[in-house]
Amino acid sequence: MKVLKFGGGCLKDAKSIKKVPKIISHYDDDIVIVLSAFGKITNMLEDEKHEDVFLFIQSIMIDLGFSSYDIDDILKKQKTYFSFSNRISYPDRVSIGEYLSSEIIHRYLKLENIDNMQLDATKYIFTDSWDPNVNSAKFHSINVPDNFLESIVKQKIITQGFIASDVNSGAKTTLGREGSDYSAAIFGAAFNVDEVILFKDVDGVYSADPKKNSDVELFSHLSYDAAFELCSNGNTVVHPKTINHLKKKRIPLIIKNFDNFRKPGTVIS
């Protein structure tokens, strides 16, 4: 089993989303797909630009060939939240982005005849109490039933990154911005997967930001410790928490380019 994580920067429009079936077809059936909110949806939700969210999502679904029924059904589910937006918490509001992404990918894969099931991350990943000062909560635990893996053998699972639940109150929380990578590591460790693959808009981990400096080194392999140090000192390709979480179980972490996934990328192990 593997965990594949797709970030919002990769899934920024319908053209990008159409690449997902081709990528996942190169892996076995038993994979977990962790998704961020598409594009800049989280920013829109933070700013409560609800109409912008709907127009963006509606445009994507039209371009993906969704029926008017599916489009109305997906949007209707979220409009209930928006109608009470001044009364719901920050985590409740921003989590809408991840739910929209997972629902759309779930239905799009069905359209492409790829069977899959959805899993609500908030029912499995738990945090300590929400900290409004940093708009995040500290990871506490993941609770997966003993027979869970047996019940989903040979099925692709779609789930959300970033979001979780308070272990005490059950209220929605988040792992913080860039928390989707961390979610992928949490699921990966819980399922004892063979590897966790993060799809990014770069070829892997570099010695410096390749978008700002042409004289950089692309690493084909890094140890957990070397990667942790590099990513703790300004390199933001991978959150350090993601690396440390996988290090505990010696699960390899691979960074690949979403637009050229056949390249080997960077292996952290």
Express each pLDDT in 50-77 by its tens digit.
889 989 999 999 999 999 999 999 988 7
Dihedral angle computed from the Cα positions of residues 146, 152, 153 and 157, in that order, rounded to the nearest 10 degrees: -120
Rg (C-alpha) for the chain, rounded Å, is 18
The confidence score (pLDDT) of residue 151 equals 64
Q: Are 46 and 201 in contact (CB under 8 A)?
A: no
3-state secondary structure of 221: strand
Position 233 scores a pLDDT of: 80
pTM summary value: 0.93
Contact 268, 200 (CB under 8 A): no
In 3D, which of 10, 157, 43, 35 has the Cα closest to residue 98? 35
pLDDT tens-digit series, residues 168-214: 999 999 998 778 999 999 999 999 999 999 999 889 998 877 777 77
**pLDDT tens-digit readout, 116-144:** 999 999 999 999 999 999 989 999 999 98
**β-pairing verdict for 2-6 and 172-174:** unpaired
Amino acid identity for residue 80 in this structure: T
What is the rounded average pLDDT of the residues 100-127?
Answer: 95
Q: How many other CB atoms sit within 10 Å of the CB of residue 53?
A: 24
User: pLDDT grade, residue 231 (50/70/90)?
Assistant: confident
Specify the higher pLDDT residue, 237 or 20: 20
Q: Which is higher by pLDDT, 120 or 89?
A: 120
Which CATH number is 2-38+113-193's, of 3.40.1160.10, 3.30.470.20, 3.30.390.10, 3.30.365.10?
3.40.1160.10
Q: Using CA atoms, how far apart are residues 192 and 136, in angstroms rounded to an integer?
A: 26
Domain layout of the chain by residue ranges: 2-38+113-193
Ordered strands of the 163-166 beta sheet: 139-142, 125-127, 163-166, 172-174
Banded pLDDT at 265 (limits 50, 70, 90)? very high
Q: What pLDDT does residue 83 have?
A: 58
**pLDDT reported for residue 183:** 97
Q: How are beta strands 253-257 and 221-222 bridged, if at all?
A: unpaired
Give the β-pairing of 2-6 and 31-35: parallel
Would you give the distance in Å from CA 243 to the centre of its chain?
Answer: 15
Tally Cβ neighbours within 10 Å of residue 188: 27
Q: What is the pLDDT of residue 215?
A: 82
Q: Where are the beta strands (DSSP E) in the chain?
A: 2-6, 31-35, 116-119, 125-127, 139-142, 156-160, 163-166, 172-174, 195-200, 221-222, 253-257, 266-268
> How far apart are the C-alpha atoms of 102 and 78, rounded to whole Å?
13
- Residue 86: pLDDT over 70: no
pLDDT of residue 148 exceeding 80, the answer is no
Segment 32-46 shows an average pLDDT of 94
164: pLDDT strictly greater than 80: yes
The pLDDT of residue 69 is: 94
Query: What does the longest C-alpha to C-alpha distance in the chain come to?
Result: 51
pLDDT at 84: 53
Q: What is the pLDDT of residue 147?
A: 72
pLDDT-derived band at 146 (thresholds 50, 70, 90) equals confident
